[in-house]
Amino acid sequence: MKKGHFDSEAFFGALDAVRVSRQLNWKEVAKGTGVSASTLTRMAQGRRPDVDGLAALCLWSGLKADDFILEEEGQRGEATPLAMISTYLRADPNLTKQGAIALEHVIKATYEQMTKGQVRREAKKRIQNRGK
């Protein structure tokens, strides 16, 4: 069973607000995004866009797809700091793809080492405190 879902109705509502604020019709949105008018019509009927269409609409509108991903009805999951670092590295225009991946591996390995060490230190303290 899937735990998360994309709130396509909320996304379409936000997309419509962008369209209205820019004083455009849906045909102009289709032309500006490269997303077909039929895809936009299906979205108005509650259907989800394909991934490439979603990406194009997000770029055009400035909306962030992750703002519309819900864990359960009305709830959002929270990204871990390590996941956020990875996302920022991959989005950094100053890094090559290989450079971002290399840094990601270094940071993950360091993070694992540091958090394992922290768990061991806390366990050792608990054991020492039992004897007091």
pLDDT tens digits, 54-79: 999 999 999 999 888 877 655 555 66
pTM for the full model? 0.58
Per residue in 102-116, pLDDT (tens digit) is: 998 898 888 887 777
**90 within some domain:** yes
46 with 99, same domain? no
Number of domains composing the chain: 2
> Which of 41, 70, 99 is at the close of a domain?
70
**Under 8 Å between Cβ of 86 and 38:** no
Alpha carbons 18 and 50: distance in angstroms, whole number: 20
pLDDT, one tens digit per residue, over 3-13 is 778 889 989 99
Residue 90 shares a structural domain with residue 125: yes
Residues 63, 109 share a domain: no
Look up the domain containing 111 and give its range.
Answer: 81-130
Question: What token pair was written down for 16?
Answer: 């419509």
105 in the same domain as 57: no
pLDDT of residue 119: 54
CATH of the domain at 24: 1.10.260.40
Same-domain status, 85 and 110? yes
Residue 9 shares a structural domain with residue 64: yes
The DSSP line for the chain is ----EE-HHHHHHHHHHHHHHTT--HHHHHHHH---HHHHHHHHTTPPPPHHHHHHHHHHH---GGGGEESSTT------HHHHHHHHHHH-TTS-HHHHHHHHHHHHHHHHHHHHHHHHHHHHHHHHHHT-
